C-alpha cells in the first residue's frame, strides 16, 4: 500500500484524487489546496464523492511533507508559475518524496527539457533519493505510447502524424486554456501566449525531438506553424463567448524536418463548437474528439483513440486519462531509480497496476 498526497484539485487533480481514494493499492494521507475556499474541506468533497475520508485539505506544504508520504501527485497549474512550482517540487523531492504529475509539460520528455528546469530537480532527486515522473494524454500518451504502438506495427515508416482534434466548447477553463490559446481575440489584438515565438516548440518540440532520437534520425530542424480561424458569427459556449471577428478555432503544429520534409508532426486542431472552422478536419464518426496517430509506411497504420464518459464532457474525460497516466505508475515510481523518469523508462506492464477492484 503506497501512502499518497494529492497536490491540488483542479481539472486533473480532482480526478487523480478520486482515483487515489478508490484504489485499494493506494492510501490517501493528505491533500493540498491553494484556494482558501478549499482549505479545511474534506478530500471527498473536493472530488465530488459523498462519503467523507477524514483527510482535510491544507495549504501547508511542510505539514504534508511531515506526513512522509511515499508519493505526491502534483497537478497544480505550473506553466504560468514555473519558478514557484519548481521550488515546491524541489522541496518535496529533496525531502525524499517521489512525485508523479501532469504539471510542467516540458518534463514529459525530461531528456529534452532545459537545464534551468532539470538542473534543480535532478539535484533534489539525488538529495532525497527520489524520482519525478510527468505525463498526460497530450503531451504524453499521443506522442509516446500511442506512437510507439503504431510504430511497432510497421517495418518501415515514412512519416508520423500525431493529432489532437478536439472541440473545447464545453471545457470550463477560460482562465488558462481559453486565454493562453487566444479564443475570442481578434486578429489585431495582442497575441496569446501560445502564439509567441518558441512557445509551441518548447511545449511539443520535446516529444518530436525525443521520437527522432528514439528512431535514430537527426532532424534538420524543429519548426512550428499556427493558423487561427476567425468567426463571422457569434459563438456561445461554456469556454467563452466569441463575438464576430474573434478566434473560434486554431490549428497549430510542431514539425520535425528530415531531409527537407516534415517527418514527425504533432498537430492540434482545436475548435469551439462544430460551427467553427467547418472546412478543417473533424474527428471520425461524429465524435467530439480524437487522439490520432497516422504512420505512413509499410503498412500504413492509423490509430484513433477516443476517451469519453457518459456524464463528463470529452475534455474532462481527457483530464481523467491524464490523471490515470500518472496515478497508474505510482507503485513503479516509488521503487524507481533516483531522478527524472520518462515513459520509455517504465515497463509497459507497470502502468496497469491496481486498476480492477
Ligand X SMILES: NC(=O)c1ccc[n+]([C@@H]2O[C@H](COP(=O)([O-])OP(=O)(O)OC[C@H]3O[C@@H](n4cnc5c(N)ncnc54)[C@H](OP(=O)(O)O)[C@@H]3O)[C@@H](O)[C@H]2O)c1
Binding site for ligand X (CB under 6 A): 8-13, 33-35, 38, 75-79, 81, 102-103, 105, 136-140, 173, 176, 319, 322
> In the complex, what is the shortest distance from the CB of residue 164 to ligand X, in angstroms, rounded to a whole number?
9
Measured from the CB of residue 154, what is the shortest distance to ligand X in angstroms?
A: 25
Q: Least separation, in Å, of the C-beta of 257 and ligand X?
A: 24
Residue 348 CB partners (closer than 8 Å, separation 6+): none
CB nearer to ligand X: give 222 or 319: 319
- Min dist CB 94 to ligand X, Å, is 18
- Please say which residue, 272 or 307, places its beta carbon nearer to ligand X: 307
- Of 13 and 205, the one with the shorter C-beta distance to ligand X is 13
Closest approach, Cβ 137 to ligand X, in A, equals 4
- Least distance (Å) from ligand X to the CB of residue 89? 11
* Integer CA distances (angstroms), 48 to 13, 45, 65, 106, 342, in order: 12, 5, 25, 30, 31
Q: Based on CB atoms, which residue is closest to ligand X, 247 or 323?
A: 323
Measured from the CB atom, the residue of 136 and 263 that comes closer to ligand X is 136
Q: Which is nearer to ligand X, 206 or 262 (CB)?
A: 206
3-state secondary structure the chain: CEEEEEECCCCCHHHHHHHHHHCCCEEEEEEECCCCCCCCCEHHHHCCCCCCCCCECECCHHHHHHCCCCEEEECCCCCCCHHHHHHHHHHHHHCCCEEEECCCHHHHCHHHCCHHHHHHHHHHHHHHCCEEEECCECCEHHHCHHHHHHHCCCCEEEEEEEEEEEECCCCCCHHHHHHHHCCCCECCCCCCHHHCCCHHHHHHHHHHHHHHHHHCCCCCEEEEEEEEEECCCCEECCCCEECCCEEEEEEEEEEEEECCEEEEEEEEEEECCCCCCCCCCCCHHHCCEEEEEEEEEECCEEEEECCCCCCCCHHHHHHHHHHHHHHCCHHHHHCCCCEEECHHHCCHHHHHCCCCC
Query: Least distance to ligand X from the beta carbon of 348, Å?
Result: 19
Closest CB to ligand X among residues 103, 131 = 103
Q: Which is nearer to ligand X, 41 or 223 (CB)?
A: 41
Shortest distance (Å) from residue 319 CB to ligand X? 6
Amino acid at each position: 500500500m503506497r501512502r499518497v498526497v494529492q497536490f491540488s484539485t483542479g481539472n486533473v487533480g480532482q480526478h487523480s484524487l478520486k482515483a487515489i481514494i478508490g484504489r485499494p493499492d493506494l492510501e490517501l494521507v493528505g491533500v493540498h489546496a491553494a484556494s482558501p475556499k478549499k482549505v479545511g474541506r474534506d478530500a471527498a468533497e473536493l472530488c465530488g464523492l459523498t462519503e467523507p475520508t477524514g483527510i482535510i485539505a491544507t495549504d501547508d506544504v511542510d505539514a504534508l511533507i511531515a506526513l512522509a508520504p511515499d508519493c505526491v501527485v502534483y497537478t497544480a497549474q505550473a506553466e504560468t508559475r514555473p519558478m514557484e512550482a519548481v521550488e515546491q517540487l524541489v522541496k518535496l523531492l529533496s525531502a525524499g518524496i517521489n512525485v508523479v504529475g501532469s504539471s510542467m509539460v516540458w518534463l514529459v520528455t525530461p531528456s529534452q527539457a532545459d537545464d534551468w528546469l532539470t538542473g534543480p530537480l535532478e539535484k533534489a532527486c539525488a538529495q532525497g533519493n527520489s524520482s519525478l515522473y510527468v505525463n498526460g494524454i497530450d503531451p504524453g500518451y499521443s506522442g509516446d505510447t500511442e506512437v510507439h504502438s503504431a510504430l511497432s506495427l510497421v517495418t518501415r515508416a515514412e512519416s508520423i502524424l500525431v493529432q489532437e482534434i478536439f472541440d473545447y466548447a464545453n471545457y470550463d477553463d477560460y482562465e488558462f486554456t481559453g486565454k493562453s490559446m487566444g479564443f475570442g481575440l481578434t486578429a489585431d489584438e495582442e497575441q496569446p501566449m501560445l502564439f509567441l515565438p518558441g512557445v509551441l516548440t518548447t511545449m511539443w518540440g520535446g516529444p518530436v525531438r525525443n521520437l527522432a532520437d528514439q528512431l535514430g534520425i537527426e532532424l534538420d530542424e524543429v519548426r512550428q506553424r499556427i493558423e487561427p480561424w476567425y468567426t463571422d458569427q457569434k459563438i456561445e459556449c461554456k469556454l467563452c463567448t466569441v463575438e464576430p471577428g474573434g478566434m473560434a478555432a486554431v490549428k497549430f503544429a510542431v514539425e520535425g524536418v528530415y531531409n527537407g520534409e516534415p517527418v514527425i508532426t504533432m498537430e492540434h486542431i482545436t475548435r469551439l463548437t462544430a460551427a467553427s472552422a467547418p472546412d478543417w478536419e473533424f474527428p471520425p464518426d461524429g465524435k467530439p474528439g480524437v487522439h490520432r496517430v497516422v504512420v505512413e509506411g509499410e503498412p500504413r497504420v492509423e490509430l484513433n483513440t477516443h476517451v469519453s464518459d457518459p456524464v463528463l464532457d470529452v475534455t474532462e474525460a481527457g483530464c481523467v486519462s491524464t490523471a490515470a497516466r500518472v496515478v497508474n505508475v505510482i507503485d513503479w515510481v516509488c521503487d524507481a531509480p533516483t531522478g527524472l523518469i520518462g515513459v520509455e523508462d517504465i515497463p509497459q506492464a507497470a502502468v496497469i497496476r491496481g486498476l480492477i477492484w
